[in-house]
Amino acid sequence: MIPDLYAALVAPFADFAFMRRALVGAVALSVGAGPIGVFLMLRRMSLTGDAMAHAILPGAAVGFLIAGLSLPAMTLGGLVAGVSVALLTGLVARATALREDAALAAFYLLSLALGVTLVSLKGSNVDLLHVLFGSVLALDDDALLLLCGVSTVTLFALALIYRPLALECVDPGFLGSVSRSGGAAHLVFLGLVVLCLVAGFQALGTLLAVGVMMLPAAAARFWTDSLAGMFVASITVGTLSSVAGLLGSYHFGVPAGPAIILAAGCLYLLSLALGLRGGVLWRLAPAPRHRTA
């Protein structure tokens, strides 16, 4: 029994360096993206994360056209594109009658179509799949350093702006009345969202990077009401999803990136059903009756 468990759960990581690299990269991404996803969810910006994930595609595609599958070029291009779309969306929302969500949706669709077209001009179908779905099993030292560095920067930056972000989730009107830090914290937060998505793009591609950010955060919401508890739960779900997805990819030959996101989706559905804070089964359970003397 124990040898079978070792072969199924431990041997793939013990025997193959590419599996260990993939695990380190995916866990590092989960550590940084999990808390970001929690704040996106609590601020009702979940779809903003998805839109921003697609917004980085044209910049990454330009980097690909210039330097091929170069980590620095595609990372820099994606970062510039993501920040530009965020700024343009805010500008359009303030200067026109179009709401911010509609402006972001327009830029997101334009970015996705433009990015796919640019990659197709020079690359093959394999290159396009690499950009859209990532290559977590092919992470090198530079990619691992990028993922770990981004997670470290994200956690430190969130610690600095934690108070205004948390207050804005609860009572933005009160925050505006006692402090002017809300606007600056919001801009820094959007920058962190773009940074995490650009890092996640290296491992999971533009279409799946937001999954490791939002699905663990959504699952965490069913287990705890405290903000710190949701951070820990989201990182835990992301880590478990990474392990399960990589093992599923190894044993069953499915693509690793989608397998990680499917594992996160399964844990979300499990939390939706069994979670102690609003899970379906707990809501359907009959309320306890108190006896009267």
- Over residues 168-227, the pLDDT tens digits come to 777 666 566 666 666 788 888 888 998 998 888 878 887 788 899 999 999 999 999 999
Total domain count, the chain = 1
- Tell me 287's DSSP state: P
Residue 2 binned pLDDT confidence (cut-offs 50, 70, 90): low
- Over residues 241-279, the pLDDT tens digits come to 999 999 999 999 998 999 999 999 999 999 999 998 888
- Over residues 54-108, the pLDDT tens digits come to 888 888 888 888 887 788 888 888 888 888 888 888 788 778 877 777 777 788 7
Distance CA(209)–CA(211), nearest Å, equals 5
Supply the pLDDT for residue 50: 78
Supply the pLDDT for residue 148: 94
Structural domain includes residue 94: yes
Supply the pLDDT for residue 292: 54
- Domain with residue 125: its CATH number is 1.10.3470.10
Structural domain includes residue 293: no
Distance CA(157)–CA(163), nearest Å, equals 12
Q: Are 40 and 31 in contact (CB under 8 A)?
A: no
Got the DSSP string for 92-129? Answer: HHHHSSS-HHHHHHHHHHHHHHHHHHHHHHH--HHHHH
- Over residues 159-185, the pLDDT tens digits come to 999 988 888 777 666 566 666 666 788
Supply the pLDDT for residue 290: 56
| More confident position, 196 or 282 | 196
Query: By residue range, what is the domain housing residue 49?
Result: 2-281
Rounded to 5 degrees, what are φ and ψ at 286? -65, 140
| More confident position, 20 or 44 | 20
Residue 34 binned pLDDT confidence (cut-offs 50, 70, 90): very high
Structural domain includes residue 287: no
Residue 150 has pLDDT above 60, yes or no: yes
Supply the pLDDT for residue 133: 78
Structural domain includes residue 124: yes
Supply the pLDDT for residue 182: 67
Structural domain includes residue 286: no
Distance CA(274)–CA(215), nearest Å, equals 16
Q: Are 224 and 277 in contact (CB under 8 A)?
A: yes
Stated as kind and residue range, the H or E segment containing 140 is: none
Number of CB atoms found within 10 A of residue 147's CB:
26
Structural domain includes residue 72: yes
* Confidence (pTM): 0.88
Residue 293 has pLDDT above 60, yes or no: no
Structural domain includes residue 290: no
What tokens does 220 get?
């965490």
Query: In terms of Cα–Cα distance, which of 115, 15, 140 is closest to 64?
Result: 115
* Angle, helices 100-122/71-95, rounded to nearest 10 degrees: 150
Query: In terms of Cα–Cα distance, which of 258, 255, 154, 142 is closest to 197?
Result: 154
Structural domain includes residue 85: yes
